[in-house]
């Protein structure tokens, strides 16, 4: 999943940066037109046309656009070559290829060897420009001021490209971290907290409740006859029931901690709530769940839940409170299900 995020960010970077590259090519083309360097006018006209097509293709065919990202480094290298041969490396056009190096390292569709080959090609090209072509007389001679101006523009463009790539890679890292945290803390089927993350939060809330002498209540609930639902309608339907129940929990209240404790069992931790308030919430949730009609082959299937509720006492931790709520849940199941039972 992290690779998907990275490649998608590379694609978005390419889409957003192409208009900038197009404008730069047009400006270079105009500059060389004024300077009457006709081979470069032709080259940059072709480059501008190709980039325009890439922009259109990127909007109409995202897959082709993503594939084009893989050859950006080669396109930039080839594009800079005529300028280097005609004006010489002092104009700085070969610097453009340096801006593609982060894209090569970031592309997860390539292995380490493939990346190394591309970097090696860029390094050889750069060495040829800096050490060999520097001694070759350029085909067109421009004034020193013009060469320095072009060099400054190309340095600025390369630094801009490197900065934007760093920005997008930073976004990728941040997004990957958010997704990893979400994966570590939530149940993938329901989107509720998982058992480990709820335990950590419950520890903190217990310490806070004891420190400030506030209430804390726990609700544990269980889908009635869930095994029978799975056996009669299949596991896909069972998953659908779990999702519907979880969404109902999310809808009815947003400021308690909701967790899929395991299987068809859920736990709610309610900071600053008394047992009576927790029982009222559980009753609202029970009624809401009871009203669900989950379709199976165009036939509605009713679902009910049983709830156990307990308030944490000053001399116990949340595990003990949960155990008392679980005992109340067991009592509710023994006495007929589809009810809310408060712990003694």
321/253 same-domain check: yes
169/49 same-domain check: yes
33/175 same-domain check: yes
Q: What separation, in Å, do the N-terminal and C-terminal C-alpha atoms of the chain show?
A: 47
Q: Mind telling me the catalytic residues?
A: 264
Q: Which of 184, 207, 235 is the last residue of a domain?
A: 184
Enclosing domain of residue 177? 2-184
Number of domains present in the structure of the chain: 2
Residue 182: what pLDDT?
A: 83
Contact call for residues 250 and 290 (beta carbons, < 8 A): no
169/254 same-domain check: no
Q: Which of 152, 184, 216 is the last residue of a domain?
A: 184
Residue 324: what pLDDT?
A: 97
66/206 same-domain check: no
Cα distances from 108 to residues 12, 64, 169, in angstroms, run 15, 17, 12
Burial of 36 (0-12, 13-18, 19+ CB in 10 A): exposed
- The torsion angle over the Cα atoms of residues 138, 140, 146 and 151, rounded to 10 degrees, is -40
Structure tokens of 48? 């501008």
Residue 118: what pLDDT?
A: 92
Asked if residue 63 belongs to a domain, the reply is: yes
Contact call for residues 81 and 128 (beta carbons, < 8 A): no
170/205 same-domain check: no
Is pTM beyond 0.75 here? no
Residue 1: what pLDDT?
A: 45
Mean pLDDT of residues grouped by 10 in the chain (344 residues)? 58 68 87 92 87 69 59 82 91 90 80 92 91 84 91 92 82 81 89 94 95 95 95 94 94 81 95 94 95 89 96 93 97 96 93
144/28 same-domain check: yes
Residue 174: what pLDDT?
A: 82
CA–CA distance, 279 with 187 (Å, rounded to integer): 25
CA–CA distance, 170 with 163 (Å, rounded to integer): 10
Asked if residue 189 belongs to a domain, the reply is: no
Residue 213: what pLDDT?
A: 92
118/206 same-domain check: no
CA–CA distance, 342 with 344 (Å, rounded to integer): 7
Neighbours of 299 (CB within 10 A): 9
Residue 65: what pLDDT?
A: 52
116/231 same-domain check: no
176/84 same-domain check: yes
Contact call for residues 219 and 270 (beta carbons, < 8 A): yes
Contact call for residues 54 and 71 (beta carbons, < 8 A): no
250/102 same-domain check: no
158/235 same-domain check: no
Q: Which of 163, 184, 205 is the last residue of a domain?
A: 184
Residue 11: what pLDDT?
A: 60
The CATH number covering residue 213 comes to 3.30.70.270
Contact call for residues 122 and 105 (beta carbons, < 8 A): no
CA–CA distance, 308 with 278 (Å, rounded to integer): 10
Strand 216-223, strand 305-311: pairing: antiparallel
CA–CA distance, 40 with 24 (Å, rounded to integer): 13
């Amino acid at each position: 999943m992290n690779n998907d995020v990275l490649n998608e960010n590379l694609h978005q970077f390419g889409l957003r940066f192409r208009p900038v590259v197009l404008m730069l090519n047009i400006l270079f083309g105009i500059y060389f037109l004024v300077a009457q360097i006709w081979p470069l006018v032709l080259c940059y006209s072709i480059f501008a046309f190709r980039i325009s097509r890439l922009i259109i293709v990127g909007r109409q065919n995202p897959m082709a656009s993503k594939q084009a990202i893989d050859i950006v480094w080669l396109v930039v290298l080839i594009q800079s070559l005529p300028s280097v041969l005609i004006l010489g490396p002092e104009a700085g056009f070969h610097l453009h290829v340096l801006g593609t190096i982060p894209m090569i390292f970031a592309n997860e569709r390539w292995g380490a060897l493939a990346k190394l080959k591309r970097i090696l090609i860029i390094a050889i090209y750069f060495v040829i420009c800096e050490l060999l072509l520097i001694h070759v007389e350029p085909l067109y001679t421009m004034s020193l001021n013009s060469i320095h101006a072009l060099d400054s523009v190309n340095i600025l463009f390369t630094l801009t490209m490197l900065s934007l790539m760093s920005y997008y890679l930073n976004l990728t890292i941040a997004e990957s971290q958010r997704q990893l945290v979400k994966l570590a803390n939530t149940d993938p089927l329901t989107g509720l907290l998982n058992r480990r993350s709820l335990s950590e939060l419950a520890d903190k809330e217990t310490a806070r409740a004891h420190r400030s002498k506030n209430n804390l209540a726990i609700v544990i609930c269980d889908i009635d006859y869930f095994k029978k639902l799975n056996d009669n309608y299949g596991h896909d339907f069972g998953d659908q029931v779990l999702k519907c129940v979880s969404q109902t929990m999310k809808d009815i209240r947003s400021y308690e901690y909701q967790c899929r404790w395991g299987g068809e069992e859920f736990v709610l931790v309610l900071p600053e709530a008394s047992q009576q308030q927790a029982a009222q919430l559980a009753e609202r949730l029970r009624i809401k769940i009871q009203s669900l009609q989950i379709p199976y082959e165009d036939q509605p299937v009713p679902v009910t839940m049983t709830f156990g509720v307990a308030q944490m006492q000053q001399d116990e931790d949340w595990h003990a409170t949960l155990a008392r709520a679980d005992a109340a849940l067991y009592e509710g199941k023994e006495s007929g299900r589809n009810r809310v039972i408060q712990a003694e």
